[in-house]
Structure 1
């Protein structure tokens, strides 16, 4: 029987492979889908088009979660502590507007909660947080080879060098929120 009480959070913190891998380890998360949103180019964008930086889309994930197990606020705190929200249009070597730090809210309640979390998280960082807060537009699922990327490619160099440190942060700061 499907859980009809699921909520969705949409966030972008650089490469969606990283953000997807983080949330796939969180208790209460039912599904994570990598995709694109926030652009203005017509039609369904492709990964290649997104990587050009010309479409205006961000690489994001949609996290379907059970709010009786994990709150939207906790989802955002995990997000804010497993990427660099003070780096404008860049996460490590990945640079461009497609890698921006962004929270896309689905409704006014999410917008209010995200505003509070962003304000509270500023105390954790010396530099100003540049995470964008925007209303969700059209979300496009990324191509199949971008879904479950870390699970299917964990031995690749990018996964070892870029994703594993983010997973280490997750385990260090949020061990109480992880799957058993």
Structure 2
């Protein structure tokens, strides 16, 4: 009976230790998840993701990057809209600009998606913005009068 009690105590201790490890792992996941959500929230406020007047939003999506403290996968936000402008004219609708070093800068004055741990805006070489305009295809759910479908995708990693 003593041996059985000792084995039970050891098993209980190991189970408790495993629960602590799993809980710590879940806590880390939650912190990573929360940090990725902050990246998404920041991306969604960027002027470059706003739909210009006269255009119709077709979809808006986001995806958290995930990873861990050492490996930070980028989170993305995407908006797709139908524009009455031709693909060549869409550049007039894009609400962003390039600076002298060809970095994509949002009209609100900060680099897209980047910030420092203190919360201050900073350039992030891992932040990317893509704008693609194409002619409306027969399968698009674009309203009448649309001449192009524009996809704007912005991605960034969470601060390290």
TM-score (norm 1): 0.30
Structure possessing the higher relative contact order (Cα contacts under 8 Å, 6 or more residues apart): 1
Q: Name the larger-Rg structure.
A: 2
Is the helix fraction higher in 1 or 2? 1
